[in-house]
Amino acid sequence: METSQNKFLTGQIILIDKPLTWTSFDVVNKVRWLIKQEIKVKKIKVGHAGTLDPLATGLLILCTGKLTKQIDDIQTQEKEYTGVITLGATTACYDLEKEIDIEYPTEHITEAIIKETALSFIGEQDQVAPIHSAKKIDGKRAYEYAREGETVVIKSNTINIKEFDVEICDTPINEMLEDSKINQEAPYQKGIHVKFRIVCTKGTYIRAIARDFGEKLNSGGHLSVLRRTKIGEHKIEDAVKIEDISSIF
């Protein structure tokens, strides 16, 4: 019978439902510490297969021991996300991590136009990553340049949107957010809130989709809610919540 120590050193794939405000590295550090305590070792490899922003929740895949070699392969697999894009305003980072900076009209936007615009995103396209992102430029993360107030050119990346379903949501934005006071006294109440489900390839920034979606609609857009629900064949329904992490032992 395989011991817990051998199990984690040989390698395990652990599916975690990342909570709001936690970074991906917070989750890795928490799980690594728990494994070390459980199997009584001083060192063990634990890594994640694809970052989630602090304001995103959902599927985070962790690999331990020798299975950390599979991380690159897992990262290349298709991903599915659900969430809410709010039209009518922008933020500097395209989500609620920053305050609203500019408001735009939305009176000309109908549900038919929204659905038609979503269809225009299907297929291969070039996407420019947000400046407030972990994308590397000349050895530095893009967000490091942003913090220093430097202007840099971010080269576009080819992505492929396989599916993009949208619908207008009448639910107040406060009720859709797990914690509406994370970064603002109140999220943007006005505008149009669009629920979405998207299936895309590696390297797709959903915040950039929100930005581009608003621009295509001759308005502005930002991401209000984001949840990753699938990576390859791995589903959020099979993930463990942080408070139930002891079940992996």
Q: Which of 17, 26, 53, 212 is catalytic?
A: 53
Is 72 considered catalytic here?
no
Q: What are the helix (H) ranges across 133-233?
A: 142-147, 173-176, 206-216
- The identity of residue 150, as a single letter, is E
- Residue 197: count of CB within 10 angstroms of its CB: 15
Spatial distance between the Cα atoms of 196 and 68, rounded to a whole number of angstroms? 32
Which two tokens mark 215? 């621009």
Question: Is residue 102 within 8 Å of 89, Cβ to Cβ?
Answer: yes
Task: For strands 56-64 and 240-241, give the pairing.
Answer: unpaired
Contacts of 218 (CB under 8 A, 6+ apart): 108
Spatial distance between the Cα atoms of 215 and 227, rounded to a whole number of angstroms? 23
The catalytic residue positions are 53
